[in-house]
Chains A and B, each alone.
Chain A
Amino acid sequence: MKKTDVIKEVAKELREKIITIEDLNALFDQISVIENFLFKDIKTPFSEKLKGEIKEDLRLIVENLEKKGIIGKLPNEQFSFFEKIKSELKKFLLIKLEIAFEPSEDFLLNIKKWLKENVQQETVLQIKTNPNIVAGLIIEYQGKYLDLSLAKKIDEIIETITYERF
């Protein structure tokens, strides 16, 4: 397996866990921490140094990659690897969603799943909670905007009534 393919596979695995932009930023922060430890205490195994410093699931991924020799042994090689991962992760498409309620993790996963099936692009969500939209959804995607909120429908009904009346 080529190194580039490995990087893409790792990025894909990481993307599976990312739903929102906050998740992605958190991952970038974690990778920055990893990069900071690359040049410290080079004799100690890398995954060992990261214990308690990053999330355990991520540390296990790093450990697995280290055991397989995918991330390299020299700090420079390792740094390059993580920079390429970061670069791959930036290929997400951002979708801004405005909804009326605080969404559960499961609901966000449902949305992610739906987007993966229907948009066919790796997407990351930027969720904004706004009760004023009453219900439904406002979407922004690649410079496009669509208001499918119930508030807009109510406004349209009021507008129609007042227009017909006057």
Chain B
Amino acid sequence: MNYSIFIYETAEDFAKRSDPARSEAHFGGWMKYFEGLRAAGIMRGGSGLMPPDTATTVKLRSGQRLVEDGPYADTKEQLGGFFMIEVADLDAALDWAAKCPAAATGVLEIRPNLPPMKQD
């Protein structure tokens, strides 16, 4: 099955990205993790996201365009990236999620993907 894993990171983990003393170790951990996913042949895509303060949220209500700065979800941990994996079942997805560098400090959300869209 194909799962998406959304990585909700703490402010502290976001800060590591741009901290010269910690960024190398931080990104090194992620690279190693993704190498593991690729080596297992289960990686199906993914992206790191710029921090939540770069987010822009839009919606259309009664024909009016509404734009807000910042992320939609007002959560303690914030979305920092996502990736997709192809694994046998939810247990396998949870096993991989538990190895993710953000698991010990942040929150991982695991969601099965819909099959690719059909064009009639």
A binds B: no
Which residues of A does B touch, CB under 8 Å? none
Which residues of B does A touch, CB under 8 Å? none
